[in-house]
Amino acid sequence: MQTLKAIKNSDAKANSFSDREFPMLDADFDFIARVANEKTGIQLGNHKRDMIYSRIVRRIRLLKLQTFAEYCEYLNSHPEKEMTNFTNAITTNLTSFFREEHHFDFLRSTVLPEIKSKNRVSKKLRVWSAGCSTGEEPYSLAMTFHRAFSDVSGWDIKILATDLDTNVVSHGKAGVYVPDRVEGLSASILKKNFNVVVPASGRGNAYEVSPHLKRYITFNRLNLLGDWPMKGGFDVIFCRNVVIYFNKDAQRILFDRYAEMLKPNGYLFIGHSETLHGVTSRFESLGRTIYRKIS
């Protein structure tokens, strides 16, 4: 049972949104949360209200609407026009090059030597970056593979990079990053893998990923809870900081589908705050959010 203080705090929170420039009532947030869950699997709890307000309000201004209720009606009446913009607005895309460095260390020390031996006849490596955001993850993978396979020839290496947000998929495909996005990379890595360019804004310099890395990657939009057009056969899947937005049932379905997409003993990398414990028995934990498919 809620205490009187909790009820008052809840009422104050609701009032704080109804008193803003664009009123957002409980019914508006509930509708947005329901649509988000139905279309993407993302769960939006009450703690996400501030984030949702700040992101959807941009759409309200652009569409010249007056309230969140009007936006909800517009979304409901024009899903073919607005659903992609809505999805892009609510999706979080926090990433960086070589994020969670221990994953890339494990790739270099364990996974790639194993694949070189296991796939020595086919000379194929297939990797999926599921939830690729603006491209830093798949390009980090490409840099890792390019270096690791520099001493061998004839390997067919392909990275599939997918995300729900069309804007970040376009960003990743372009492969152009402002200095802040590459500041963690060494001068040597920048020199070998990026070209300095003038961005479209014309202000300052930017860094474009070199063609020798882009050739490894195919960027596509994909809803992880929808149909998957690819047939599988992946050696490695990266799905980091994605399933934290899904409920347990959706996670079980997703990880079962990943298991089907992976080769026997294939590897799955997930985010630092995520776990497969109590969700699936298809994988064995190797520690530090690294898992291997149980064949």
Q: What is the mean pLDDT of residues 113-141?
A: 97
Task: Enter the pTM of the model.
Answer: 0.79
Determine the average pLDDT of the residues in 36-46.
Answer: 81
Structure tokens at 145: 């593979």
Of 49, 99, 126, 163, which residue is the catalytic one?
163
pLDDT at 15 over 60: no
Task: Write down the pLDDT at residue 12.
Answer: 42
Residues 127, 230: Cα–Cα separation, whole Å: 12
pLDDT of residue 131 exceeding 50? yes
Opening angle at CA 12, ends 56 and 19, nearest 5: 50
Q: What is the mean pLDDT of the chain?
A: 90
Host H or E run for residue 183 = none
Q: Where are the domains of the chain?
A: 4-90, 101-293
pLDDT band at 208 (very low <50, low <70, confident <90, very high): very high
pLDDT in tens, 93-125: 778 999 999 999 999 999 999 999 999 999 999
| Torsion angle (degrees, nearest 10) of CA 246, 251, 257, 259 | 130
CATH superfamily of 101-293: Vaccinia Virus protein VP39 (3.40.50.150)
- Catalytic residue check, 163: yes
Round to whole Å and give the CA distance between 94 and 40. Answer: 18
Express each pLDDT in 167-200 by its tens digit.
999 999 999 999 989 988 999 999 999 999 987 7
Q: Give the class (CATH, top level) of 4-90.
A: mainly alpha
55 in catalytic set: yes
Query: Can you tell me the distance from the alpha carbon of 221 to that of 8, in angstroms, rounded to the nearest whole number?
Result: 43
DSSP H helices, the chain, are: 4-18, 26-40, 49-62, 68-77, 79-90, 101-106, 112-118, 136-148, 166-174, 179-182, 187-193, 211-214, 248-261
